[in-house]
């Protein structure tokens, strides 16, 4: 990161151009996916370190490059900004930027014709119509690792149309909505020879008013709040002089430059109202495009820390479910987490006949008993971790987790030998793992094959759209957080132990997945082994009649939330 910012910006331009021209040589196709991934990482890191340097690309049209290259750069910057406004992790951000990079990889010449208002030939029309299929084919030539990008490309055109058309069309994938939104904005603001483009804030306002999609409106509002009232690179009038706005410092002083003197830029720090024009304009001045960002006047951000999640994970690892604590011991551990104590007071309501919250930690412990308290505290912290992890499918993921927990609670309800609080903790840890380690692969589908695996049962990841995960990674997390919870080990063992070798505790997890499959993928018939395992577990856990169980399952009102 010691390399001057101007050099990194120039490399970003050059590498974007190189990626887009790579389509012209079929021998280079296999290199395009890894190149797009690396380039997406560069966009993300640059946006984290100096967002204004990249935001200036939305106002400064570089005539050294074509319309299509400038458009793709704008779209990548907008995508990075939308992700930053939602605090998405680096995997998600890079996935969405990668999709923005490759969306137009096959139609750069057609984009340039579009900007020039030139007529499309019959071949142009065909290529334009199939541009996302062609891009997906090129990406898949690099292997299945490109599948998340092709998933976005497959639905992108439908989402773009739905975002600006009425009547309202339901859109269920927030990630594709974000990528489509970035493209619509970029197409509206990128400079064209006819100068029919509109300003950045006008484009956002028009889209906010036009779109019937609530998530898209939320994205636009968050993005505007994140960017602020002025856009870097905008031309402004100050003291009757035309200047360029770059940033606002911590003292709320605007940093402006005057580039009239070709030899040297004049810098200003002012506190004044500005009349700005955030509309993209042709700028051939390399000092404005690159060099200004090397100045000591520009602040480079340090990478943001994830202290809060780390603190919560440390809190979970300090509390052991099989250890009995005194009030003094728990109070010492939790004293620095008043928000968790408040949530614990709410979480103990079911243990109170009046269903009232506890007054404080001591009251909470007296209500649930000191033997149950560690598991309840861990659950509350896990819920906080899951609920505070940003993701386009976050509401769906939380709903799916809540459904699995409710099913397990019902399944073991008659069995007085099991402590429900202990059993469900691994489900929270598993979901936290999916959100943080598999964020770019999560989907709404249930990834259980119609042809069943004869050796192993489907993993829980399948209920979050992921066919398989690397066991060693999740084992490491479980070892760190749930080392003394025996149910954590049986959950993981049940996923990679042959069916014939499963114990009854392993099969409890299998039974949960079988019931979940009936709820979330009812069209998939159970295999004889699944039906037998479920019947055995229902009987072992005190359900004398399967019909009684299913009646109570229906009362839970669990559904396949899309």
Integer Cα distance of 203 and 59 in angstroms: 13
Question: What pTM does this model have?
Answer: 0.92
Integer Cα distance of 163 and 544 in angstroms: 51
Question: Which two three-digit tokens encode residue 451?
Answer: 């042809």
**What is the structure's pLDDT at 201?**
97
What digits encode the pLDDT tens for the residues 253-286?
999 999 888 788 899 999 988 889 999 999 999 9
User: Are β-strands 60-61 and 281-282 bridged in parallel, bridged antiparallel, or unpaired?
Assistant: parallel
**What is the structure's pLDDT at 304?**
57
Nearest to 146 by CA among 24, 16, 37, 42: 37
**What is the structure's pLDDT at 562?**
55
Nearest to 495 by CA among 547, 463, 460, 546: 460
- Count other Cβ atoms within 10 Å, centred on residue 470: 10
Mean pLDDT by 10 residues, the chain (562 residues): 85 96 88 96 96 97 96 98 96 97 95 94 95 94 90 95 86 94 97 91 96 95 96 92 92 91 87 90 94 88 66 87 85 90 91 86 89 88 91 94 96 91 93 94 92 87 91 87 91 93 96 96 94 96 95 88 58
Contact present, 424 and 405 (Cβ < 8 Å): yes
Q: Residues 6 or more apart from 49 whose CB is under 8 A from it?
A: 1, 5, 300, 301, 303
**What is the structure's pLDDT at 155?**
95
Q: Which residues pair with 247 in a beta bridge?
A: 255
Nearest to 240 by CA among 275, 266, 210: 275
Q: Residues 6 or more apart from 405 whose CB is under 8 A from it?
A: 424, 427, 428
Q: Residues 6 or more apart from 106 whose CB is under 8 A from it?
A: 23, 127, 131, 134, 135, 138
3-state secondary structure of 558: coil
What digits encode the pLDDT tens for the residues 170-185?
898 999 999 999 999 9
Integer Cα distance of 314 and 291 in angstroms: 44
Integer Cα distance of 388 and 307 in angstroms: 13
Q: Is 461 exposed, middle or buried (0-12, 13-18, 19+ CB in 10 A)?
A: buried
Question: Which two three-digit tokens encode residue 111?
Answer: 């984009």
Integer Cα distance of 187 and 201 in angstroms: 14
**What is the structure's pLDDT at 380?**
92
Contact present, 546 and 538 (Cβ < 8 Å): yes
């Amino acid at each position: 990161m010691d390399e001057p910012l101007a050099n990194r910006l120039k490399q970003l331009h050059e590498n974007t151009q190189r990626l887009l021209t790579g389509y012209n040589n079929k021998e280079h196709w296999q290199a395009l996916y890894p190149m797009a991934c690396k380039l997406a990482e560069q966009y993300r890191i640059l946006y984290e370190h100096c967002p204004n340097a990249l935001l200036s690309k939305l106002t400064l049209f570089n005539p050294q490059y074509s319309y299509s290259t400038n458009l793709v750069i704008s779209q990548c910057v907008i995508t990075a900004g939308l992700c930053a406004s939602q605090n998405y992790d680096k995997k998600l951000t890079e996935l969405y930027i990668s999709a923005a990079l490759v969306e137009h990889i096959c139609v750069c010449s057609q984009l340039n014709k579009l900007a020039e208002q030139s007529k499309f030939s019959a071949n142009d029309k065909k290529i334009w119509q199939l541009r996302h299929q062609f891009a997906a084919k090129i990406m898949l030539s690099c292997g299945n690792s490109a599948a998340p990008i092709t998933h976005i490309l497959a639905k992108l055109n439908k989402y773009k149309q739905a975002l600006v058309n009425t009547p309202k069309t339901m859109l269920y994938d927030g990630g594709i909505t974000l990528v489509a939104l970035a493209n619509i904005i970029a197409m509206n603001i990128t400079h064209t020879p006819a100068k029919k483009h509109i300003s950045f804030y006008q484009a956002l306002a028009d889209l906010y008013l036009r779109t019937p999609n609530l998530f898209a409106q939320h994205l636009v509002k968050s993005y505007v709040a994140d960017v602020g009232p002025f856009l870097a690179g905008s031309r402004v009038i100050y003291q009757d002089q035309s200047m360029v706005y770059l940033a606002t410092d911590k003292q709320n002083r605007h940093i402006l430059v005057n580039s009239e003197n070709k030899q040297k830029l004049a810098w200003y720090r002012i506190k004044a109202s500005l009349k700005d024009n955030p509309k993209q304009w042709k700028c051939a001045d390399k000092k404005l495009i690159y060099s200004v960002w090397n100045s000591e006047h520009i602040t480079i951000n340090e990478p943001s820390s994830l202290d809060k999640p780390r603190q919560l994970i440390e809190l979970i690892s300090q509390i052991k479910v099989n250890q009995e604590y005194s009030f003094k011991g728990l109070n010492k551990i939790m004293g620095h987490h008043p928000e968790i104590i408040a949530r614990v007071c709410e979480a103990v309501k079911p243990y109170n006949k009046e269903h009232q919250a506890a007054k404080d930690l001591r009251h909470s412990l007296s209500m649930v008993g000191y033997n149950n308290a560690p598991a309840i505290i861990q659950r509350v912290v896990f819920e906080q971790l899951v609920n505070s992890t940003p993701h386009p499918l976050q509401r769906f993921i939380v709903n799916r987790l809540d459904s699995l927990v409710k099913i397990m609670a019902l399944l073991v309800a008659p069995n007085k030998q099991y402590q429900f609080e202990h059993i469900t903790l691994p489900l929270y840890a598993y979901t936290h793992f999916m959100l943080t380690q598999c964020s770019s692969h999560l989907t709404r589908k249930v990834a259980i094959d119609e042809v069943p695996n004869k050796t192993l049962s489907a993993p829980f990841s399948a209920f979050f759209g992921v066919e398989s995960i690397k066991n060693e990674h999740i084992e490491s997390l479980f070892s760190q957080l749930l080392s003394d919870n025996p149910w954590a080990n049986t959950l993981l063992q049940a996923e990679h132990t042959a069916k014939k070798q499963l114990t009854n505790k392993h099969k409890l997890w299998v039974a949960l997945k079988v019931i979940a499959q009936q709820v979330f993928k009812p069209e998939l018939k159970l295999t004889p082994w699944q039906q037998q395992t479920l019947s055995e577990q229902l009987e072992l856990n005190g359900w004398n009649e399967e019909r009684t169980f299913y009646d109570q399952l229906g009362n839970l009102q669990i559904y396949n939330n899309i």
